[in-house]
Amino acid sequence: MFAELADRLPELSTVLAYGAAVIVLVLTPGPDMALFLGRTLVGGRAIGLAALLGTTVGLYVHTALAALGLSALLAASPFAYAALKWAGAAYLVFLAIETLRHGSAFEVRGDGESVSLPRAFLVGVGVNILNPKIVLFFVTFLPQFVAASDPHATTKLAVLGGLYGVIGFPVCVVLILGAERVSGAFARSARLRRGLDWATAGIFTGFAARLVLSRN
């Protein structure tokens, strides 16, 4: 029984190599990192963690799709992939506009109550679900750690995809805690908050442009 279970799981050496690669990828700046760090700097740790949780859920949606083979089908369809790419770019532009209109961390209301955490969570989900680069990760990068002829490839892909969030989430939490240490300065300075708004909007717009102009 245990031998059969072991056959269905990735080998330890594979997990270690994959884990090291995941840490590098997690630390690579992207729309999701810009989102949860920007939320943390102005809105505080709770807002940042809500956004991070949302991006992680979006990642697991792609994990499920990859395990079912739908991500490969989507990547193989030029029309479907182009549609996702344009939708993702449009969503990032929308976030940039909303950031300039309402603030990168959804400013604290006059009554002293913060904007709801569910909204930050849902924005995070949308950022990763509509990110075609995540699709390419599961279609091109993840399969490198599983042999195509492996009869348990689907299970191993699902396990490795799940480990991405398990490994990446704590790393991102550390980044959020670090950002929180300087969040007080942003809370006290409207000028700093507005500067962050413009910087965050610029980052979102830049990633949107890169999505549109990329050939893959």
Between 98 and 35, the more confident residue is 35
Q: Which amino acid is at 201?
A: A
Q: Which residue has the tokens 């599961």?
A: 138
Q: Is the pLDDT of residue 114 over 60?
A: no
Between 149 and 204, the more confident residue is 204
CA distances from 90 to 66, 133, 149 (A): 24, 15, 38
Biggest CA-to-CA distance, the chain: 62
In terms of pTM, does the model score above 0.75? Answer: no
Residue 78 burial (C-beta neighbours within 10 Å; 0-12, 13-18, 19+): exposed
Q: Which pair of structure tokens corresponds to residue 133?
A: 């680069």
DSSP, collapsed to helix, strand or coil, labels residue 103 as coil
Work out the pLDDT band at 34, boundaries 50, 70, 90: confident
Q: Which amino acid is at 62?
A: H
Q: Is the pLDDT of residue 215 over 80?
A: no
Helix (H) or strand (E) holding 200: helix 190-213
Between 11 and 7, the more confident residue is 11
- Pairwise CA distance, residues 195 & 186, whole Å: 10
- Pairwise CA distance, residues 52 & 176, whole Å: 9
Q: Is the pLDDT of residue 5 over 80?
A: no
Q: What is the mean pLDDT of the chain?
A: 78
The predicted structure's pLDDT at residue 1: 56
Q: Which residue has the tokens 């009554």?
A: 111
Q: What angle do CA 95, 88, 136 make, to 5 degrees?
A: 135
- Pairwise CA distance, residues 195 & 191, whole Å: 6
Q: Is the pLDDT of residue 151 over 70?
A: yes
The predicted structure's pLDDT at residue 38: 84
